[in-house]
Structure 1
Amino acid sequence: MQRLRSELERLAGRPDWPLVSGLALGLLGLLEAYVYTRGGGFEDDATTTFVLTLTATLPLVFRRTHLKTAAAVTSLSTLFLVSSGEPTPETAAVIVAQAWVLYLLAERTRGWVTLLLGVAFVLLTLSSGQVVLSNLLLLAAGIGALAIGNARRLGGEVSEVRASQAALEERARIARELHDVVAHHVSTIAIQADTARLTTPGMPAEGGERLEAIGQTARDAMTEMRRVLGVLRTEDGGELAPQPGLDRLGELLETARETGTPVRFVLDGRPVPLPPSVELTAFRIVQEALTNARRHAPGAPVEVSLLYSDDALLVEVRDRGPGPPGGGESAGGGQGLVGMRERVTMVGGELRTGAADGGGFTVEARLPWR
């Protein structure tokens, strides 16, 4: 009983509008058929009209679980009903149902399946009887629904490919930057070990051997790292160099101000030394968020906040622009959000983006450092 009550509360809070629309469409078709038969149409076939209208509309209720079956039943019932003569009141309901189910099929199936559906639909419609206005309306609605559904599916596939490509490129970029960060520190270890061994007077032989082993291990580790990750480096001819951290955040904010973006910086908590990967991630998040703000909310004030907690760094960038259209997460950030999410995931953090309360767009990241 408790589970049933929870499910009813969920449906009441978030109604399934397509389900409600399908039921309303079926009831509208039945009502129209009833009114039409009572008015003198299909006097000898009132029962057939009721059944065909019912089977042409109500199957849409099961579009999520049995789409193909619902499409077959709807199509056959629609063809029988529409081919019987000139348009009738219930014709509008069944044509809408037919167009809807064809749209869903085209959106969720492959392109060649959509093409076969279109050819079969045209042939069945034209061969179902004399070509009358109802047939032409059904044909136009069906072909239009197939075309729109197929275009929607192709658009979704293109977006997925672009997002996947952006994720791969960002991962490669992250690997290159981490390569530089880690290699820089490992090479520093090797240099310090060799320096300590050579410049410390009176060092025992055993201590010198251990420092020499530390230096050699560091050099071996750097060689293996370059062998594994070096293929991801861009061939720019540059040497390994430490990647930017929060010590260069001031330069980044000043550059944004020079380009016309008013930036306010807020620091909360006591700054502590962070791992290079966390600092690099925080820097890149602020950099990408400022770029997005300049692109989608030019001239709008931006607030950059850093909060140091006991176990994490909280980064928030919020612009005071008009906000993304529709308030969606993907709006306003483009593929840059993909890169942010990849970086935050790399350090085991959490990212939230979207429309801010009171307008604008906000990027919030929690980067654990313990």
Structure 2
Amino acid sequence: MNRAHDRHGGRAAGAWRLAAAPSAPVVVAATAGLLAVIESIVHAGSRLPPGSAPTPLYFVAFCLVGLATTLPLAFLWSHPAASAVAVCVAVTASLVVVQTLTVAGAAAQLIAGYRLGRSGGSALAVLLAVPYPALALIGSPHVLILLLASLAPAVGLAGIASRARAEAMENRAAQQVVADTLLEHTLRGERARIARELHDVVAHHISMVAVQAETARLTTPGMPPAGAERLSAIGDTARAALTEMRRLLGVLREDAEPVSVNGAVAGPARRPQPGLRLRELNELLDESREASGTATRLILRGSPVTLDPGVELAAYRIVQEALTNARRHAPGAAVDVELHYTAGALRLIVHDNGPGPSAAPAGHGLSGMRERAAAVGGELRTGPAEGGGFLVEARLPGKDAM
């Protein structure tokens, strides 16, 4: 049934495309004119008195009347009112003066009436249908007069109804666009409000947690090493939360509606997701150095290339998590971050010279890094490093593997 419906829809669409073609009115007018000429010749021959000899002018007059009722259709698309008036005048004259009408002429009147009503000439479409009921009331016996008397007003009203339906659909579509726009503006305003709340309230309190934890660790005399490590971990967690909140605020503000100020559009700057750009990696390592006070090196091998954004984001997050774990579980240890670019893969290594697996992180940190690597088609392993310390090694798809 679906296939039959699709075929029917395809045929209907093809018919509409043919009707809307620029040459369609000319083709219709030429076809109707040819049929009108043939039918006019037949009518002329049937009306000759018995034994009379017809002249060529006699047949030409009938053919010209038939053409006058059909050829104006060639201008129906470009000038619907003038074309419909010309057809109506020619059809009425043919019925009153010549007392004959071709089927092609009657069809031309119906086509012109519908097109006029469809194009917006509502009053004129109704007015041009009036002569035919009047002729029928007078008592003209022609069958086409009776047909036009019933159909001409109907097709004119059908064209008017079709136009009204099309305008109603356009109005509904415009109203839907306005409603969608209002909803979008409302959602953007709500996102902007949430972003302001997060920035002004939540981010402030988290930053205070980080500052107070660091202050307590540095100013409390005689604090046990375990307590200092706990406070350091609290500070690291708070700073990591602030970093993620800044990223969330950036996403929320990207969707906020720009505000026009003195004719200029001002809005929050759009920032891409973090990746393996050298500037972003250096900023990440600088933050780690400032937080831990130890050496953190970035080592690049091979020719850096731009990878899939998902791969670069996963690599950045793995480095970020590995540096956080090193500060938390191996405080004071130096860390090397190595990126080795090859044609088919990116090898990512984060190595510290801390106590090794005995201080390795447990819980969600390592599993989260493994999940990030697996999500982009890579793999990750962790464990003791050769020569001491702890090693995080990830192998992610390279440029040729995308």
Q: Under TM normalisation by the shorter chain, which class is it?
A: 0.3 to 0.5
TM-score, length-scaled by structure 2: 0.42
Q: Which protein has the larger Cα radius of gyration, Structure 1 or Structure 2? A: 2
Q: Which has the higher contact order (CA 8 A, sep 6+)?
A: 1
